[in-house]
Structure 1
Amino acid sequence: MKYIWRLLPISFILLLSGCGVENLSALDPQGPVAEMQYSLIQLSLYIMIFVLVVVFAIYIFVIVRFRERPGDTHIPKQVHGNRTLEIIWTTIPILLLLMLAIPNVMDTFTLADMSVDGGVEDGEEIDHVRVEVTAHQFWWEFEYPDLDVVAGQDMYIPTDTRILIELQSSDVQHSFWVPALAGKQDNVPGITNEMWLEAPEEGVFMGKCTELCGPSHWLMDFKVIAVDPDTFDTWATNMAEPPAHLAEPEGQVAVDGRGVFEESCISCHAVGDEGGNIGPDLTNFGEREVIAGYLDYDMDNLEAWLRDTQDLKPGNEMPSFNEEAINAEEMDALLEYLDSLKILEE
């Protein structure tokens, strides 16, 4: 019993293996890129299991066959310099490496191919959408240059469409990762990296930054929201022409909140075609499910975020608003206005 504590690390590992977030696992692929990479993981695993079984089998055989026996003093036959054995244990690793290398190289070229204009796949023209992803400390900006749309934190994509992604960073190095759809790719300052992904089915896929980029790196989450092409077209049209589709604040409190927003927030955050781009675009803020990338969307969390941003996300560039900056009445109005920011359905 005194050694039972040695089992605690194993128990802890088994416990953590049951923890996780929905759609945040590379072992549950939801698109062709993720499936391609998952197949490589499986191939590597099968080869490692094969090597492990063979090595342990030889190890056990040698222990049993050549164990010391009473009265047995002879020296087993030596195999040093045996050309046949040396050819065998040199050839087998080469074959195993080729089994890994060939599909890896083929998939690498496939994933690096960003040419789709006029392209055909399986007899059909490739539908595609271009997205420029810019990483900031500690949030994500998604720009659709062909659609004249800029969004923050939530990346909307149409299903059954190739999404061509250009990755950039506005400050330090970050890394874009949506494990259910594709492997990670770095956002490097001054360099544009490229990748593509597809989502065959509708759904919400969790994404994270996987490069240590500051004190709130672990809170730098985002969502990829896959919708049917018609819904995406409607969303993109409404986001591109917000004055015609942005819901008007209802009630005097929300109207007053717009005034507070214009005094305190609009220099950094855009709503519709007005405002700055230092922080995330808030045009459809009221439709989001999370605040600051990770807090559940409710008014208590929103007020807590506005009152003390550094406590909830250390190192970010957004200022906090104490009672002197925004009093309780103004804060209630601001919360009402932010919650009203929704895109009208056509």
Structure 2
Amino acid sequence: MMKGLKKWRVLALVTVLSVLLSACGEKDLSALSPAGQVGKDQHNLLLLSTGIMTLVIIVVVIIYVLAIMKFRRKKIGEDVIPKQVEGSMTLEVIWTVIPIILLLVLAVPTVYLTYKFADTKAMEVKKADNVVTVNVTAKLYWWEFEYPNQKIVTSQELVVPTGQKVYFKLKAGDVKHSFWVPSIGGKMDTNVDNVNKFYLEFDQESKDLKDGVFYGKCAELCGPSHALMDFKVKSVSQTEFDSWVKNMQATAKRTTSGSLEQQGEDIFKQSCISCHATSGSGTGTGIAPNLATFGDRNRIAGVLDHDEENLKNWIKNPQKYKPGNTMPKPEKINKGKEFTDEELSALSAYLMSLKIEN
């Protein structure tokens, strides 16, 4: 008996903790703290559906308890048969009409918002240079973001203006992935065979958040490093966005200063340039992440702290930190040899110097 009670106590404790912890979440990574109109609409729809389900559960439980209490044998006796309501027209109408009404209450806003979020006509208008469109390509295990109207490309960190719709064209370069920024809205699958389209709105700048960014996730199981397939979103004012675009376009003519950085650039051109680009101007290669703003990122490979020691470790053995990724070991790109400590220091210094922010 005591063992049974202990089990129920544990179950009750787990249930209470689940309810409490379900409300926990950071503003940069929580669908329960929406920071964009799309996220707010989806959050309100979630509250509506939860409210309807809760109402149904409460009503059913009340009726169930009342029936048990009112018609228990101890109260009405052994030989009493309650009034039979089988075939009652009134009851049939009630439990048919009420569910239909509840379904309509839920279906109307759901259908409306589905079509609203799918309205991407603005991105198809020719010469719509003022429209921010981002071509998103998901790869194992990184993200490429190309801005066709601005003729720039970046990876791992998406930069967007606040106060307007940002349109997305989503596709996958290898297997199915899913693009999701929990605090802003989404999510949408990225497929190999077709392009999905939708838009998001960013109501606030991300600079005041914990790491200065919103966190995006891959929401589709895609391989051994699926959980590590993150990306960051910087939402900035329109003025800052315009400045960022100009700086990205200028990276095509960027020069390297410092002897150690110059040495690192020479090593990079001999080994890494066949896959990685260091200019944000133009279009994406789709082979490996664009490194034009590598020095401005807050993570290495999306998951490691942004410092030279982690960068060296990543270059030496990328499979250790992201199993299944397509980045080769140094021996395959450095004439069969590992990078020396001096080469790693030079290469790290060069990559960390690739910045456009002050």
In the superposition, the TM-score normalised over structure 1's length comes to 0.91
Change (3 A) 1:276 1:83: closer
Q: How does 1:135-214 map to 2 (within 5 A)?
A: 135-203=138-206, 204-214=213-223
The question of whether the paired residues in 2 share the 8 Å contact of 1:202 and 1:228 is answered with yes
State the number of aligned residues: 338
- Match of 1:335, as an amino acid? S
The CA deviation string for residues 122-163 of structure 1, in whole angstroms up to 9 with x for no partner, is xxx996301000000110000000000100000100111210
Residue 316 of structure 2 corresponds to residue 307 of structure 1: yes
How far apart in 1 are the matches of 2:93 and 2:101? 12
Correspondence for 1:254: 261
- Return the match for 1:263 from 261, 270, 273: 270
Give the CA deviation at 1:209.
0.4
**Which residue of 2 is the match for residue 111 of structure 1?**
117
For residues 257-336 of structure 1, what are the structure 2 equivalents within 5 Å? 257-272=264-279, 277-321=286-330, 324-336=337-349
Three-state SS of the structure 1 residue aligned to 2:178 is: strand
Relative distance call for 1:42 and 1:18 in structure 2 (3 A) is closer
Once the two structures are TM-superposed, the CA of residue 242 in structure 1 deviates from its matched residue by 1.1
Q: Does 1:4 align with 2:6?
A: yes
Unaligned runs of 5+ in 1: 120-124
The amino acid that maps onto 1:238 is N
Q: Which residue is equivalent to 2:60?
A: 55
Matches of 1:202 and 1:103 in 2, distance apart?
28
Q: Identify the range of structure 1 (260-269 vs 271-280) with the bigger mean alpha-carbon deviation.
A: 271-280
Amino acid of the structure 2 residue aligned with 1:175? S
| Residue in structure 1 matched with residue 230 of structure 2 by the alignment | 221
Do residues 27 (structure 1) and 29 (structure 2) align?
no
Question: In structure 2, what is the Cα distance between the partners aligned to 1:135 and 1:331?
Answer: 28
Asked whether the equivalents of residues 176 and 222 of structure 2 are also in contact (C-alpha less than 8 Å), the reply is: yes
The runs of 5 or more residues in structure 2 that have no matched partner are: 207-212
1:94 aligns with 2:131: no
Give me the whole-angstrom Cα distance separating, in 2, the residues matched to 1:233 and 1:136: 27
Match of 2:247 in 1: 238
Aligned partners of 1:334 and 1:6: how far apart in 2?
59
The alpha-carbon deviation at position 320 of structure 1 amounts to: 2.1
Q: Deviations over 1:251-301 (max 9, x none)?
A: 211111111111111111001169954111001100000011111111121
1:147–1:236 contact (8 Å) kept in structure 2: yes
Change (3 A) 1:172 1:118: closer
Quote how far apart the aligned CAs of 1:86 are.
Answer: 0.7
Q: After TM superposition, give the deviation of residue 20 of structure 1 in Å.
A: 4.5
In structure 1, C-alpha distance between the alignment counterparts of 2:41 and 2:91, rounded to whole Å: 36
- Please give the secondary structure, in 2, of the residue aligned with 1:191: coil
Shifted more, 191-200 versus 235-244: the winner is 235-244
CA deviation vs aligned residue, 1:304-334 (integer Å, no higher than 9, x gap): 1111111100000001226932111101111
**Which residue, 47, 51, 64 being the options, matches 1:46?**
51
CA distance in 2, matches of 1:152, 1:117: 21
Cα distance in structure 1, aligned partners of 2:109 and 2:225: 37
Moved over 6 A (4+): none
Give the superposition deviation at 1:61.
0.4
Distance 1:58 1:49 in 2: 14
Instruction: Evaluate the alpha carbon distance shift between residue 256 and residue 271 of structure 1 in structure 2; reply closer, same or farther with a 3 A threshold.
Output: same
Task: Name 2:353's counterpart in structure 1.
Answer: 340
Counterpart AA for 1:60: V
Distance of aligned partners of 1:39 and 1:22 in 2 relative to their CA distance in 1, 3 Å threshold: closer
Q: Distance in 1 between matches of 2:226 and 2:94?
A: 48
Please give the secondary structure, in 2, of the residue aligned with 1:177. strand
Amino acid of the structure 2 residue aligned with 1:33: V
Evaluate the alpha carbon distance shift between residue 118 and residue 196 of structure 1 in structure 2; reply closer, same or farther with a 3 A threshold: closer
Kindly indicate whether the alpha-carbon contact (under 8 Å) linking 1:173 and 1:188 is maintained by their aligned counterparts in 2.
yes
Distance in 1, Cα, partners of 2:71 & 2:79:
11
TM-score normalised according to structure 2 size: 0.88
One-letter code of the match for 1:28?
Answer: S
CA distance in 2, matches of 1:304, 1:259: 20
The equivalent residue for 1:81 is 87
Root mean square deviation of aligned Cα? 2.4
Shift of 1:115: 2.1
2:210 — aligned with what?
A: none
Amino acid at match of 1:76: P
2:134 is aligned to: 131
